[in-house]
Every structure is written in structure tokens, then in C-alpha cells.
Structure 1
């Protein structure tokens, strides 16, 4: 009888633990931003900078289209927070403008006013 109770308790515990993990965050969500990036240095800055953001799994900038694709865990961050992170790195993200102070700190080649090169 004691072993039956132990077995039932174990099954319930494992079932609840499995259910709890299954209800976890949505990993692999994706958001895309049109950025003001212009060069390979911009690509490195954005991809490395977003790698430090909580919940970001991967960030990739297509230099030709200037589209930044970010895969993230939505329980740890949101598209709005990621857009702000892009702005704080000195780049526009869709209609959201770069933080002026961060933009001023960019290298000359990374400033959108200098055009594509």
C-alpha cells in the first residue's frame, strides 16, 4: 500500500512538472524591424548588442534590405523592448527613431546621413 501511494505521488509529480514546462514561454517568436543600418559595422553592432538583451535567441541583419530579424522568448522580452534596444544602439527601428545620444556615438560610416557604402 505504501509503495502504491509513492508510485501515484511520483506519477502526479512528474505529470505536473511536465505540464508546467509545457506551459512555459513561447520560444522562437520572431519580429522584424526595418533599420537605418548602412554597413557591415552596423550589422556587427546590432547583432552583438541584441545578443546581450534578455530573451533574445538570435539577431540577424540583412545588409541589403536593412531588415533586422530577431528571434526571442516572449516571456522574457517583447517586440517593443527590442525596438527600444535597437534605438538605444543608435539605429532607427521601423518608425521609432534612434536615441540621439546613441546615434551621435556611432562611427561616421554608420550614420544614416552618410548613405550606403
Structure 2
């Protein structure tokens, strides 16, 4: 009987440890994306981030010029996410857009000072 009790406690301890390990830390951050201009920008960033390892979800709000990203902290970090946005051609907080990617953006997705942006009506 004593062996059975010890065995059950041992198995319970292992299963509790495995459950604790299976819970992955998820974090949600909001990144300022001031160069986002339109729906096209939104789609481009969201599709770029969908391919980024560890990113669970991303939502771009081009009116507020923010990008909300939910990701697994054991697979990526906020700096990698900012770099991915910059590689898509957009500024992300303190990370400036990759110049080559920015030049490939459609005119509507470029900054107003570069002749782009949404037309005011």
C-alpha cells in the first residue's frame, strides 16, 4: 500500500510538471506604426506577420497607426516583430523601415512627405 501511494504521488508530480511546461507564455503588444496609410498597408503587414514564427495574431489599425500583435514569447520577441514590420517597408516604434522594401510599396502606402498617403476629400 505504501508503494502504491508513493507511486501515485510520483506520477501526479510528473503530470503536474508536464502541464506546467505545456502552458506557453503569450504576450500582446501594441507597436506604433506611423507610416501605415491605408487598407493595403494593413493587409501587407498582417500577411507579413502571419509568416513570422511565434506570431499568433496581428491587427493593424491604420486610422490610429498602431499594430497589435499577440505572440509566443518562447518563439519570438518584440524586437523580431518590429524588424519584420520594418522589412515589410513600414516604421515600427523606433525601428525604421527597410529602404529597399519601402521603395517597392505602392504610392498610396508611402509617407505623405514622399508623395504618398491617402488623398483628403
Cα distance 1:10–1:116, how it changes in 2: closer, same or farther (>3 A)? farther
TM-score after normalising by structure 1? 0.84
* Counterpart-to-counterpart distance in 2, 1:106 and 1:10: 61
1:77-88 superposed matches below 5 A: 77-88=76-87
Q: Which one of the candidate residues 13, 16, 19 is aligned to 1:18?
A: 16
TM-score after normalising by structure 2? 0.81
Q: Stretches of 4+ moved more than 3 A in 1?
A: 7-11
Deviations 1:5-56 (A, max 9, x none): xx754653453233233244312x1111111110100000111110111111
* Counterpart-to-counterpart distance in 1, 2:8 and 2:105: 57
Q: CA RMSD in A?
A: 2.1
**Structure 2 spans left out of the alignment, 5+ residues:** none
1:13-52 superposed matches below 5 A: 13-23=11-21, 24-27=23-26, 29-35=27-33, 36-52=35-51
